[in-house]
Amino acid sequence: MRSAVAMILGLLAAGGAVAQPPAASPATPTPPEPQSPSWAQEAALAGFGPAARPPASPITDVLALRGGYFWGHVGTSGRFDSATGVPGTPVNLEYDFGLTPQQRQPRVELIFRLRERSRLRVDFFDLSRSATQTLARPITYGNHTFQTNDVVNSEMDWRETDFTYTYSFLRTERFELGFGPGLHLIQSEGIGAVPARAIREDFSGAGPFVTLALDGTWRLSERWTLTARAQYFDLRVAGQEGALGDYRGELQYRPARHLALGLGFEGLRARLDVRNKNPSGVMKLSVDGPELFVRASL
């Protein structure tokens, strides 16, 4: 009896051991699934997002349209010789002929950034004046002599279209300095007439002129930028001499990324000396003054 009970207890113990499940091993942590970048991160990586854009300035603009209003002081002097080479009387067109020394006019300029370091600037200048004045002294003007007390009608026009290319040999986020050639298409005309004596003289000329340009930009802060440029060349060939200089400095304030307001100052110097030709003579032109402008850019 005792052996039977012991056998039953052994079978029950063995069954309990078999029925007991094995101990579970510790679980291995599952790595998190990778998440796709947001559209803003993708745009930044592609170079279009806000994080990839440097502060806006003329250094980063790829296209700019500049419109301004210019207050200029003009000085014009010259000598207009006869067809036979007789020298004319040196004159100051503002004093002797009564042309206004003030010039107020709108100005337009376009700037294209062709490549990261290449820029093309296109601007226009139009100076047109006329006056009627009684002469205080005799003046030999071309083939005629205007006498004292003659009433003279005079006109003076200077039209100029400029194309300037510069390559930036220095370009950082705050500084840019470029150098290159400028092409100036110039047309000028000077007219003097005495209707009472049916006398009229017209001196005109047109042609291209080349200068060398230096163009600099300094971004002072996120909203303020200082720019300056200078162009000049002096040419002497076949009895003719010409010189052209154009100098400008500007301070710009950018209230928005694509808009800037500014104040600038410009000086223009031109000289033409023609000998042994018809017409021949000397003319000098200077224009100086401030300019207020608005600049829209991309």
Please provide the distance, in angstroms rounded to a whole number, between the alpha carbons at the two ends of the chain.
106
State how far the Cα of 60 lies from the Cα of 172, in Å rounded to an integer.
10
Q: What share of the chain is helix, strand, coil (3-state, %, to 5)?
A: 10, 60, 25
Strands 175-194 and 91-92: unpaired
In 188-244, alpha helices (H): none
The H-or-E segment that residue 87 falls in is none
Confidence (pLDDT) at 29:
55
Half-sphere exposure of 83 (CA within 13 A, CB side): 4
Confidence (pLDDT) at 168:
97
Domains of the chain: 58-130+163-183+211-297 (2.40.128.90)
State how far the Cα of 175 lies from the Cα of 226, in Å rounded to an integer.
10
Q: How far, in Å, are 54, 191, 213, 271 from residue 181 at the CA level? A: 29, 32, 6, 19
Low-confidence ranges of the chain (pLDDT < 70): 1-52, 239, 276, 278-279
- At residue 161, what are phi and psi to the nearest 5 degrees? -120, 125
Residue 44, classed as helix, strand or coil, is helix
Confidence (pLDDT) at 69:
96
Question: 111 has which bridge partners?
Answer: 64, 121
State how far the Cα of 93 lies from the Cα of 156, in Å rounded to an integer.
9
Amino acid at 260: A
Cβ neighbours of 296 (radius 10 Å): 14
pTM summary value: 0.78
DSSP state of 60: T
